[in-house]
Amino acid sequence: MRKLIAVLLFATAAFAQEPPPQERSERVPPELASVMFNYQRRMETLAKAVSRDAFIVGRMAQATSDLQDFQKLSGLEKALDRVKEAQLRARENPRASGQTMTALGRIEDAVRRGREAGTAADANALIETILRESHDIQRDLFHGVQIARRERETLSDLQKKLMDLNLALETSMAEALGSTMEFLQAGGR
């Protein structure tokens, strides 16, 4: 348990950028409050990043579907809208990686050129460009999911250990209460 707490302290210290808020729960030991705040913040950022990348990948999949529309100009317009939505989300906090931003920029350029070409645009070539450029975005997403999976396993292990500690404390309190009752019944004060 000490090793787990030491690893948790070390890992979260690297991500500490702001002091924890002034309002701390009285139920959280002061030595853990800062660590818990930083770890919570790190996990929230990870969750947002995975959600962001999933959104972007989803929009790219929709853009490829839009390009298969029998109304080519409408499909190009919808695909460009999907790319713009993905770019907007990529700029939100936490900001997407530089690779993702570059890939989205290249996709936007390709779709804009396709829109300018109008009905002469090669939808299959645009789809291929989106799929090729989305590779780095998908890699970021899968990397985030892998980290999230490991953190989830760590949290599950920690939760089990905390439940065991809680049970040990509860058992010792019940024993102390039982001993006190026996002491009082024996005439003690």
Percentage of the chain exceeding pLDDT 90: 58
pLDDT band at 7 (very low <50, low <70, confident <90, very high): very low
pLDDT at 15: 42
> Which pLDDT value is given to residue 35?
84
Q: Per-residue pLDDT averaged across 142-165, rounded?
A: 92
- What pLDDT, in 10s, does the model give residues 76-98? 999 999 999 999 999 999 999 99
E strands, the chain, in order: none
Sign of the dihedral through C-alpha 102, 100, 125, 111: negative
Which pLDDT belongs to residue 23?
Answer: 52
Distance (Å, whole) CA 127 – CA 69: 12
For residue 189, pLDDT over 90 is answered with no
**Count of positions (residues) in the chain:** 189
Residue in this structure with the two tokens 């707490």, named with its chain if needed = 5
The lowest-confidence range among 24-28, 53-57, 175-179 is: 24-28
- Look over the chain and give the mean of its residue pLDDT values, rounded to a whole number: 85
Record the tokens describing residue 176, joined without a space: 């102390």
The CATH architecture that domain 29-185 belongs to is Up-down Bundle (1.20)
Q: What is the pLDDT of residue 130?
A: 94
Specify the pTM: 0.73
**Rounded Cα gap, residues 16 and 11, in angstroms:** 9
Instruction: Express each pLDDT in 29-76 by its tens digit.
Output: 888 888 888 888 999 999 999 999 999 999 999 999 999 888 888 899
Q: Over 70: is that where the pLDDT of 129 sits?
A: yes
* Dihedral angle over CA of 69, 72, 77, 80, nearest 10: 80
